[in-house]
Structure 1
Amino acid sequence: MFVFQWVWFIVLLPLPLLLQRFWRYSPENTTQYPYIKLITLKRAQQAFNQSNKLSTSTNQRLRMRLLWLCWLGLVLALMQPQLIEKHVTIQQTGYDLLLAVDLSGSMDNADFFLPTGERINRLQAVKTVLKPFIEKRTGDRIGLILFANQAYLQAPLTLDNLAVADMLARAEIGMAGRDTAIGDAIGLAVKKLRERPAESRVLILLTDGDNNAGILEPQQAATLAKQYDIRVYTVGVGSQENATNSGFNAKSLQEIASSTQGKYYPASDLQALSKVYTDIDTTLHKTTAESRLYLQRTLLYQYPLGLAMLALFGLQGLRLRTE
């Protein structure tokens, strides 16, 4: 479909005619100087330069046509012609998934081991397992919340799962504080998910501690999540031996998950953490999200602008020829 974005610019088209009509050259304001009328010269011109007169008249008409063509091209370019292709309707099958990752100081405890025997901390273990989980989420909108003393939206819901994985890889312990604001993290997730389709709202909360910071209590936040039909899957990260030292509260995470029709997963080692995401991947059922309309616009202003430039070149060539 061919349209003009600024169609009202067409009112500029008759502007030269209006200027010619209301702003004519008046000889009354010019100074009259005496001159000698050379009748002989005039007759000579009439006798021998009839062809020049015709040529001058033709050049004048051509000049006016080129001027009008130039003006037409400029006005059409200002109107921004564009070609709009057929609307494309896309329905995404998936769900809106927010990941809330704890960056408190206790996540620095190195109680996970890689298959090679190398010891890593809890955040590194989460990154190791969460990266392939994110990359497999084709068709799902994924967002990332990082929290400690406060909760921050690091990545909004997006289909670009590779960008979310990259932002998670750049997360560092302490960048949001040293304490744990679980309630604020859930509250922020509710704020971002409540406008999404009801059956596709999911929050995965990963933490190794109890709520000891923030404004919102975890149970209050869980009540809000239930009100907006947001399922919360909680993952308790850390070995059972260090649970007491880290202030880990498994009961609170279980209550949050059960009250929102989610599920609680204890993850005491890297293998258990991998099974957590495998279970979540098979438990969640994808739903059809809202339709999206795309408009493919192709700008065409360069063509009338090029026409105006050609007219200008023609005027210059005509001037050089008559000199």
Structure 2
Amino acid sequence: MNPRPDPFHSGWYCSRMKRPSPTLHDLAAHVGLSVTTVSDALRRRGRVAEATRAKVLEGAAELGYSPNRPAQSLRSGSSLNVGIYIPRRVLGMEFYMAFAMSVADELGQYGYDLTIISDAKDPRRWTQFAAVIVVDACLSDGPLRENLDNGSTVFTAGRIEGLPTSRLAGLIEIDYWKMLTEALDGLEQQRAVTSPFLIAFEPLDKYSWSQMLISSFVNWCTVRGLEPDVLTVSPDPNSWSFSEDFSRRIIDRKSYDLIVHGGTLLSMAARSQKLYTELIDLESARTAVLTTNEIETRLIDCDVALNIRAKEFGAAIARLCLDRVLKGESEFTHEWFAPEIFISERS
């Protein structure tokens, strides 16, 4: 019978000891750079060349280095948590889940967590977050209204009516006029449009994405001497009334030669497969559809797809937020986000 190994003399204990996690100093020695340079590269601070930063990240992966996030937070006195406020009334729409998940993924690469802020009365103030990202909110929304004047660092995806940009840290938005004009002009070059029709969600305010889409559609029609026909529906498809008049207006009017779906098509499919099929199969009308990702764009049988790229949009505003938080910049930043437009050859 073999004797029980002596943990203090046989090496049995040492072979099973957990190796200490590599420190920032270990990483600096590994890549041959100063601790300050390595720290700045990891946190995107200071003037660190991209090649140097890539070298540091590669070295961190080789060593298995992971920043001590609680210690970082204590040393800097800053939070490693970013909040995102999405009003409950739109949370059921597919775009927002993909958007929020992409924000979380992008922030996570730099050691930040994402917290969803509820519509409910929340005793926590937004100042506890390093920054707050707001999407499709109204100035009348309680959480937004109550936290604008307390020094919170706020970024918005799209403009908010009544909220001046001077109160924001950054803004990223889509140029719906440019997007829709490019898409519909492409269709018109192939065959003239004479009777266009838009179905869109009811706008929250004049800067909401649905209102921007409606305004762009109306302007496009007006410039070309066309009579725009617009139908707005609730963001909640379960509240739609599929009356005879509703169906007749959309389906039975064979005079429509272009139907633009402002994010409503998949909601229609969920509510009424028959209506969805009849809309897509209208031989007299070409279809332009607002989609949120590449999979939708490929699956939907349409003449033009306007892919607003929810994941990429979320990643873009997360990077805008990180630039401010990590680099300590204080000036307001405004960026435009470009959707992708796909025009079918059959058009």
TM-score using structure 2 length: 0.28
TM-score using structure 1 length: 0.29
* Higher RCO (CA-CA < 8 Å; seq separation 6+): 1
Radius of gyration: which is bigger? 1
Q: Please state which structure has a larger fraction of its residues in strand.
A: 1
